[in-house]
Amino acid sequence: MTYCVGLLLNAGIVLLSDTRTNAGLDNIATYRKMFVFEDPGERVITILTAGSLSVTQTTIAQLRDAIDDPEAPADTSIMKAPTLLKVAEIVGNTLARVRTDIDEKLSAMGQGASASMILAGQRRGGAMRMFLIYPEGNFIEATEDTPFLQIGEHKYGKPLLDRVVKAHTTLADAQKAVLLSMDSTLRSNLSVGMPLDLAVIERDACKVTLRRRIEAGDESFRAMSDAWSNALREGFTQITV
């Protein structure tokens, strides 16, 4: 299992993912789940992945093959697509095709495979957009009313986001919000784990403006976690019934 979250704000986009892959109690590994494709100043596309590693890795590999193909048309290469909506269609179609193919191979053993993705980015002259892409290839888009999307083990980190994240939230506060959302998930689910990948895309920059790998034992993350725990305990003691 994993946890990935993306925020679409007036000031930019904030993305966070963990890196734990759990195939059983004795088979835990670290795999990157945040993938960045960018032509700085022209377009930036970021994909977060959750679910079957075979599905997500194959999907990303096929998207990269299309990017590397100089003859790939705009309807197959996410770096040539005219809009972010078209990019979402390409990613969704690729994910659905890969999932179906792997499902067929696993069906003989009575098993299945599934995955979902968050796609976020901007092209020069276009608006920032963010989509949640389902295993079947269909998708929904983040809006001003719902400016965040989650995939994976999302339930533990959602209450905080529901309460504090708005379209006008600053990028600094947004980073704090996604990190505390992740902290809540880390404390409640062992299938989500460090290290973490954080990325920030400022509006109209068309490139990742901040990228950070947060390792286990990171002092600033630990201090934030401790401060949040103390604030919750203090708030709890002050409430009367």
**In the predicted structure, residue 21 carries a pLDDT above the cut 80:** no
Confidence tier at 106 by pLDDT (50, 70, 90): confident
Mean pLDDT, residues 18-45 taken together: 83
Question: Would you state the pLDDT for residue 234?
Answer: 96
For the record, the structure tokens of 232 come out as: 């919750």
Range of the domain at 157: 3-238
Mean pLDDT, residues 232-236 taken together: 96
Mean model confidence pLDDT for the chain: 94
Confidence tier at 26 by pLDDT (50, 70, 90): low
Question: Would you state the pLDDT for residue 126?
Answer: 97
Domain total of the chain: 1
Residue 29 φ/ψ, nearest 5 degrees: -140, 170
Percentage of the chain beyond pLDDT 90 is 88
58-95 pLDDT per residue, tens: 999 999 999 999 999 999 999 999 999 999 999 999 99
pTM of the model: 0.95
Contact of 107 with 113, CB cutoff 8 Å: no
Number of residues that make up the chain? 241
For the record, the structure tokens of 10 come out as: 């007036």
Mean pLDDT, residues 134-160 taken together: 96
CATH number at residue 134: 3.60.20.10
Residue 54 φ/ψ, nearest 5 degrees: -65, -40
